[in-house]
Amino acid sequence: MHPEIRPEMKLGMKEFENTMFMLRAQPTELNIDKFAIQGDLFPQRIDDTAWGLPAYLSADFSLFFVFAPNVGGRWAISCSRVEIANGNQITAMSETVPTGMGLNAVNELSPSSAIELIAYLKTLEVNGLGYFDEHIADRFR
pLDDT of residue 88: 74
Q: How far apart are CA 20 and CA 102, in angstroms?
A: 10
Alpha helices in the chain (DSSP H): 99-109, 111-126
pTM of this structure: 0.91
CA gap 126, 80 in Å, rounded: 24
Q: Confirm if 63 and 106 have CB atoms less than 8 A apart.
A: yes
pLDDT of residue 17: 93
Q: Strand pairing partners for 90?
A: 84
Q: Which of 27, 28, 84 is nearest to 59 (CA)?
A: 84
Which pLDDT score, from 0 to 100, does residue 86 have? 78
The residue ranges of the chain whose pLDDT is under 70 are 1-3, 5, 140-141
pLDDT for the residue 67:
98
pLDDT in tens, 76-92: 999 999 988 777 778 88
